[in-house]
Amino acid sequence: MPKIVFLPHQDLCPDGAVVEAETGESILDAALRSGIEIEHACEKSCACTTCHCVVREGFDSLVESTEDEDDMLDKAWGLEPESRLGCQARVADEDLVVEIPRYTINHAREH
């Protein structure tokens, strides 16, 4: 089973975490199952950016993002070339290293 290494995030997983993922499972679902409460304001329907993740390793193993995902990602706080929406990016058979951005767009508005 592929593993996802979540890098430390000050609120969601201060020490980081290693999660066993199922092939075909979304990064978001794997995180939630392991108690890493990444936001998912639109309930995983590709209509917000709160589940934004940056895939630091293994990005190329993921099925490419759709146009809808790319359109949403354009609005994400802290967009990077290896950004994905956690609810849309499905784990393939390679291990991943994932960084959860410090802010979501909801936080960015508040600050």
Closer to ligand FES by Cβ: residue 40 or 90 = 40
Residues 57, 96: Cα–Cα separation, whole Å: 5
Fill in the per-residue mask, 55 to 84: x = in contact with ligand FES (CB under 6 A), - = not in contact. Answer: -----------------x------------
Question: What is the nearest approach in angstroms of ligand FES to the Cβ of residue 7?
Answer: 19
Regarding 89 and contact with ligand FES (CB under 6 A), the answer is no
Residue 87 corresponds to which amino acid? C
Question: What is the nearest approach in angstroms of ligand FES to the Cβ of residue 79?
Answer: 14
Terminal CA-CA length for the chain: 39
- Sequence-distant (6+) residues with CB within 8 A of 84 are 27, 52, 53, 54, 55, 59, 62, 65, 69, 73
Among 87, 89, 96, 98, binds ligand FES (CB under 6 A): 87
Binding site for ligand FES (CB under 6 A): 40-42, 44, 46-48, 50-51, 72, 85, 87
